[in-house]
Amino acid sequence: MAGIKTLETHRCFGGVQGFHEHDSAQIGLPMRFGVFVPPQAEQGPRPVLFCLAGLTCNEQTFAIKAGAQQHAAAHGLILVTPDTSPRATGVAEADAHWDFGHGAGFYLDATQPPYAKHWRMESWLMGELPGVLAEHFPVRNDRVGVLGHSMGGHGALTLALRHPGRFQSVSAFAPICAPTEVPWGHKAFGGYLGDDRATWARHDAVKLIEAGARAPSLLVDQGLDDNFLAQQLAPDRLEAACTAAGQPLTLRRHAGYDHGYFFIQSFVAEHIAHHARALNA
Ligand SMILES: N[C@@H](CCC(=O)N[C@@H](CS)C(=O)NCC(=O)O)C(=O)O
């Protein structure tokens, strides 16, 4: 049995919010993740919602700032908040940027040195972490959703599109929809994946949809006062790709909201309800 180290637990809305660490074989380093277990888990295994955070965030950010536990407790969902990259890798360059390296894993497996060794976030999340969760928490690994914010929104969309059948529900707040077309994506994909743009396209939600990949019906919220909207997020590209491909999408644009967690708090109840509808069905 793969061990985990429990770092903290807190009673929360009748359930338990914990933060844990395990020695990841995929990443080759200890990795941290949060788990909220709702009160209904005392009666048996519950569906799981992965919540993927954005640039500069870690396993605590969404758990502390989004206010999601009260809604997960109401619907009986387990929330999992993975860290956003490997840590303490010894790669000096990975500390030099806030939008690349540590805290900026982009939920993919890097192919380029020096990142290829530890930046294996897709293999960790899709291949290793579900098994760790199944050993230590009352999860139903056959009822799984994914939600993400910004870089994590890119992660939610691309992981769902790249792994059909693994997620029954998908949603995002202010996702990076077309990373191959924006500066954050150019920097991250260039560093992690190298110069071959055909490889980049396999981690771009718009390009994946255009190439025929499909996901469960998408719920996406976007604030119109988001500082990153014009340069980095490209929700219009997602909307156009979904319309052309017949991929179901509910894209809601909200006047006055910015990129941060006050925006997320304002709509997180509706996201949790969206996931609960599919996962508890
Ligand atoms: N460069 C800024 C912005 C980074 C940023 O806005 N990150 C978003 C995700 S892309 C976030 O969720 N930050 C954490 C927070 O708002 O608490 C910083 O380093 O704080």
Q: Which of 71, 75, 203, 259 is catalytic?
A: 259
Indicate if ipTM > 0.95. no
Task: Give the start-end residues of each E strand in the chain.
Answer: 5-12, 15-24, 29-37, 46-52, 78-82, 139-149, 169-173, 218-223, 249-254
For residue 164, count other CB atoms closer than 10 A to its CB. 11
The residues near 269 (Cβ < 8 Å, ≥ 6 apart) are 71
- Site to substitute for ligand 1 among 51, 52, 55, 107, most atoms within 8 A of C-beta: 55
Q: What separation in angstroms does the CA of 118 have from each of 20, 158, 192, 259?
A: 19, 20, 11, 29
The residues near 181 (Cβ < 8 Å, ≥ 6 apart) are 204, 206, 234, 237
Query: Is the predicted pLDDT of residue 281 greater than 90, yes or no?
Result: no
Give the distance (Å) from ligand 1 centre to CA of residue 199: 27
Is ligand 1 within 6 A of the CB of residue 232? no
Cis before 38 (ω within 30): no
Q: Can 266 be counted among the known catalytic residues?
A: no
Span 126-180, pLDDT tens digits? 999 999 999 999 999 999 999 999 999 999 999 999 999 999 999 999 999 999 9
Work out the average pLDDT over 234-244: 98
3-state secondary structure 52-82: ECCCCCCCCHHHHHCCCHHHHHHHCCEEEEE
Span 40-74, pLDDT tens digits? 999 999 999 999 999 999 999 999 999 999 999 99
Is ligand 1 within 6 A of the CB of residue 151? yes
Residue type, 49: L
First to last CA, the chain: 31
Give the distance (Å) from ligand 1 centre to CA of residue 56: 6
Give the distance (Å) from ligand 1 centre to CA of residue 36: 23
Query: Is the predicted pLDDT of residue 88 greater than 90, yes or no?
Result: yes
Span 109-124, pLDDT tens digits? 999 999 999 999 999 9
Is ligand 1 within 6 A of the CB of residue 52? no
Closest to 226 measured CA to CA, from 176, 272, 160: 176
Is ligand 1 within 6 A of the CB of residue 56? yes
Query: Cα separation of 24 and 167, whole Å?
Result: 22
Q: Can 97 be counted among the known catalytic residues?
A: no
Structural domains in the chain? Answer: 13-279 (3.40.50.1820)
Give the distance (Å) from ligand 1 centre to CA of residue 149: 10
The residue whose C-alpha atom lies closest to atom 7 belonging to ligand 1 is 55
Q: Percent of the chain scored above 90 by pLDDT?
A: 99
Is ligand 1 within 6 A of the CB of residue 54? yes
Measured from the CA of 260, which atom of ligand 1 is nearest?
16
Q: Can 217 be counted among the known catalytic residues?
A: no
Span 9-38, pLDDT tens digits? 999 999 999 999 999 999 999 999 999 999
For residue 185, count other CB atoms closer than 10 A to its CB. 22
Give the distance (Å) from ligand 1 centre to CA of residue 61: 10
* Per-residue pLDDT at 135: 98
Collapsing DSSP to helix, strand or coil, 255 comes out as coil
Mean pLDDT of the chain: 98
Query: Is the predicted pLDDT of residue 2 greater than 80, yes or no?
Result: no
Tell whether pTM > 0.90. Answer: yes
Query: Cα separation of 189 and 170, whole Å?
Result: 23
Is ligand 1 within 6 A of the CB of residue 60? no
